[in-house]
Amino acid sequence: MCLFCKIAKKEIPSKVLFEEEDLLAFHDINPMAPIHVLVIPKQHIVGLGEAVAENAEVLGKLLVASRRVAEETGLVQSGFRVVVNNGPHAGQSVFHLHVHVLGGRPLAWPPG
């Protein structure tokens, strides 16, 4: 079964920042910035490329939760970046939708 479904069900441990009814926010196992948190829906959605109109509510909740991550990790003043990698060119490696929330240092733009 899917890795992030297992994390959502606590079958695989993770460093949880917070949990809501439909989603989980936890620290990335291989952080790319001082703060690197992933926000996932508990529902299995493969990626943004597979999302449909019926997913609009949970997609909205993921963004609101990303803002909560920034607030709880002290990033609102300094700034933060929200990223969704989708497909091969974006380097998506886990095929369960996840939002990266990154911050705690200046982030280069454009990304590599």
Catalytic positions:
98
30 burial (CB, 10 Å; 0-12 / 13-18 / 19+) is exposed
- Cα–Cα dist 111/91, whole Å: 12
The contact pattern for Zn ion, residues 26-45, with x = CB under 5 A and - = no contact, is ------------------x-
Q: Which residue lies nearer to ligand 5GP by CB, 7 or 75?
A: 7
- Cα–Cα dist 99/40, whole Å: 7
Stretch of 19-27, 29-37, 68-76, 90-98 lying at the interface with Zn ion (CB under 5 A): 90-98
Q: Out of ligand 5GP, Zn ion, none, which partner does residue 59 contact, by CB within 5 to 8 A per kind?
A: none
Name, in order, each residue with C-beta under 8 angstroms of 19's C-beta and a sequence gap of 6 or more: 25
Q: Which residue lies nearer to Zn ion by CB, 7 or 70?
A: 7
Question: Cis omega (within 30 of 0) on the bond before 110?
Answer: yes
Neighbours of 104 (CB within 10 A): 16
Query: Contact with Zn ion (CB under 5 A): which of 36, 68, 96, 100?
Result: 96
Q: Out of Zn ion, ligand 5GP, none, which partner does residue 63 contact, by CB within 5 to 8 A per kind?
A: none
By the criterion CB under 5 A, which residues form the site for Zn ion?
A: 2, 4-5, 44, 96
